[in-house]
């Protein structure tokens, strides 16, 4: 949680874009709920022969005479689909802007922090690991600042809107469905911890693999002089296999979690190497 709080401290600089993204998320949630609600009036119009007006908005806020439904339903579907598409594009663009900006700022802070370290730090830490921290690990932070935040906010708003739609249709059924909701919390927590574990291991393996690459390429003359091509290749292959197994585990956990929670990328995690940028 502390990691997320530290990342969120970088957001005020991008508050305008973040608010625009939030507005788009609200519009997306409302259009998503509207699309789900329209199924009822469409079915009633198609399969009911009775007279009377048809509700196109929950809670009887707006009704349409039956003789105008042939025009109202296509217009409503096109309008809702257009709002849904535009809002989805808007929230994706604005959150990508925020995420890339935060990653840029974090990369700058981390690089300055590394340069301020004493010489002993560079003797104990390989160049490959440092390179992986600045490139691979920092890029993963974008998941928490854009994709993860987007999913949490967008899906939460969608759940609220769809809950209102269900209540408007049948509050008893909504109450019965709400009883089962807490049962999904425990599996989500377990899967989240498992995802954090495998993602942390993936960061460690990627750092080790990057370090091997740098050592072999930077010292290629020594490798060639002592005919150690096979040795270096075997070392790299071992780390490569380890990283591949880790990614398969990550995909497995993500697939198990997809029915209730589907992250859109690797879990954003604090660096397992203990390096923290100052700021």
The per-residue b/e assignment along 16-52, b for 16 or more CB within 10 angstroms, e otherwise, is: ebbebbbebbbbbbbbbbbbbbbebbbeeeeeeeeee
The rounded average pLDDT for each run of 10 residues, N- to C-terminus, in the chain (279 residues) is 68 87 91 80 66 59 68 82 91 87 85 86 78 74 67 81 77 72 72 75 78 81 86 86 84 68 40 37
Q: What is the domain range of residue 72?
A: 2-181
Q: Which residue has the tokens 């809950």?
A: 163
What's the pLDDT at 80? 87
Answer yes or no: is 246 within a domain.
Answer: no
Q: What is the phi/psi pair of residue 116, to 5°?
A: -80, -5
- Give the CATH number of the domain where residue 124 resides: 1.20.1560.10
What's the pLDDT at 273? 34
Give the number of other CB atoms < 10 A from CB of residue 79. 12
Answer yes or no: is 186 within a domain.
Answer: no
Instruction: Quote the distance between the C-alpha of residue 148 and its chain's center.
Output: 3
Answer yes or no: is 88 within a domain.
Answer: yes
Answer yes or no: is 188 within a domain.
Answer: no
CB burial of residue 99 (10 Å; 0-12, 13-18, 19+): buried
What's the pLDDT at 53? 57
Answer yes or no: is 20 within a domain.
Answer: yes
Answer yes or no: is 192 within a domain.
Answer: no
Map residue 61 onto helix, strand or coil: coil
Answer yes or no: is 236 within a domain.
Answer: no
Answer yes or no: is 229 within a domain.
Answer: no
Domain count, the chain: 1
């Amino acid at each position: 949680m502390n990691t997320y709080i530290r990342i969120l401290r970088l957001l005020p600089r991008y508050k305008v874009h973040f608010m625009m993204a939030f507005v788009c998320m609200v519009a997306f949630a409302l259009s998503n709920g509207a699309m789900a609600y329209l199924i009822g009036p469409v079915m009633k119009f198609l399969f009911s022969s009775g007279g009377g007006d048809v509700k196109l908005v929950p809670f009887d806020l707006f009704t349409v005479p039956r003789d105008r439904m042939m025009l109202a339903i296509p217009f409503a579907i096109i309008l809702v689909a257009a709002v849904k598409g535009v809002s989805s594009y808007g929230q994706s663009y604005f959150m990508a802007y925020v995420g890339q900006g935060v990653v840029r700022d974090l990369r700058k802070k981390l690089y300055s922090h590394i340069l301020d370290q004493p010489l002993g730090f560079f003797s104990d830490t390989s160049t490959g690991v440092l390179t992986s921290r600045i490139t691979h690990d920092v890029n993963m932070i974008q998941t928490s600042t854009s994709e993860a935040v987007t999913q949490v906010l967008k899906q939460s708003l969608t759940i609220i809107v769809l809950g209102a739609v269900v209540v408007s249709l049948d509050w008893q059924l909504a109450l019965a469905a709400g009883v089962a909701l807490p049962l999904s919390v425990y599996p989500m927590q377990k899967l989240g911890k498992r995802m954090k574990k495998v993602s942390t291991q993936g960061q460690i393996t990627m750092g080790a693999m990057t370090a091997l690459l740098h050592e072999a390429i930077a010292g290629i003359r020594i490798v060639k002089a002592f005919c150690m091509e096979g040795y270096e290749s075997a070392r790299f292959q071992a780390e490569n296999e380890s990283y591949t197994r880790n990614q398969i585990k990550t995909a497995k956990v993500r697939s198990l979690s997809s029915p209730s929670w589907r992250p859109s990328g690797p879990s954003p995690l604090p660096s397992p190497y203990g390096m923290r940028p100052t700021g």
